[in-house]
Amino acid sequence: MIELRSMPTACGERRRDQACSQCGARALSICNSLDGADLQRLDALAERASFAAGEALIREGDEARNVFNITSGSVRVFKLLADGRRQITGFLFAGDFVGLATGDTYVFSAEAIEPVTACRFRKAEYRNMIRECPSLETALLERATHELAAAQNQMLLLGRKTATERIASFLLDLPAHDLARPMPAGHVHLPMSRSEIADYLGLTIETVSRVLSRLKTQGLLKLASLNEVVVMQPRKLRALAEGDI
């Protein structure tokens, strides 16, 4: 048992009062939506877990026993085809929930990209929790709806955008998800590898690398390091992302 309330980030605290660019919702963190008594009850049910880089929180096909709330680090959520082709359907950061699938088995996998800490809830207990704390359900519905809006944007990206538009959209959207990590304006931290970016955007690593190089040559970006991009011309990048060209 961990005293979540004594640790500001333990239940996935995120910056408050920032409207989501994809669905317009505010106060998306579960923490922000619940009152003290509810958080206390969550507290009693939470078990802390940590994962090394590459370790799995959730494996597709396993019995769905747990729900996690990420408290630090970053996670890749993905599905595989039989021959190994991988689609990363999302990256998760502090404050995100994972494992809310309705069925008896997980329908996706989730692995730590960098060292991760999380609160684990047994799914059985989690159901009791919902019964006692209806506002949790409201908060989860809001988050699910938000993720659905994000998924629609991603489908638009995967189905209809060019490689350049995909990379531009990605660089502009990423900071909105990773709110726990404070970055100077214009700086984007990439905890994931090129191969993970490629599998998220439906491209190959070579194309990701080429497009980043071209955007750099064109002066839209600087590559401060492998894992840090500085957006030099956000207007132009936004125009590229929307296909306005």
Binding site partner of 174, from its own copies, DNA, none, Cβ cut-off 5-8 A by kind: none
| Residue 210 Cα distances to 145, 217, 241, angstroms | 35, 10, 16
Report residue 202: phi and psi, to 5°.
70, 35
Cα separation of 92 and 111, whole Å? 10
Shortest spacing between CB 136 and its own copies, in angstroms = 10
Question: Contact between 6 and DNA (CB under 7 A)?
Answer: no
Residue 243 in the binding site for DNA (CB under 7 A)? no
User: Are 167 and 221 a contacting pair, CB within 8 Å?
Assistant: no
Nearer to its own copies, 158 or 230 (CB): 158
The interface partner of residue 138, options being its own copies, DNA, none and the CB cut-off 5 to 8 Å by kind, is its own copies
Decide if residue 218 touches DNA (CB under 7 A): no
Whole-number Cα distances in Å, 73 to 10, 78, 79, 162, 225: 12, 17, 20, 30, 19
Dihedral angle computed from the Cα positions of residues 46, 12, 127 and 42, in that order, rounded to the nearest 10 degrees: 50
Give yes or no for a contact between 106 and 59, defined as CB atoms under 8 angstroms apart.
yes
CB of 59 or CB of 160, closer to DNA: 160
Q: Which of 9, 32, 153, 193 binds DNA (CB under 7 A)?
A: 193
Q: Does 212 bind DNA (CB under 7 A)?
A: yes
Candidate residues 96, 109, 207, 240; the one interacting with DNA per rule CB under 7 A: 207
Q: Which does 208 bind (CB under 5 to 8 A by kind): DNA, its own copies, none?
A: DNA
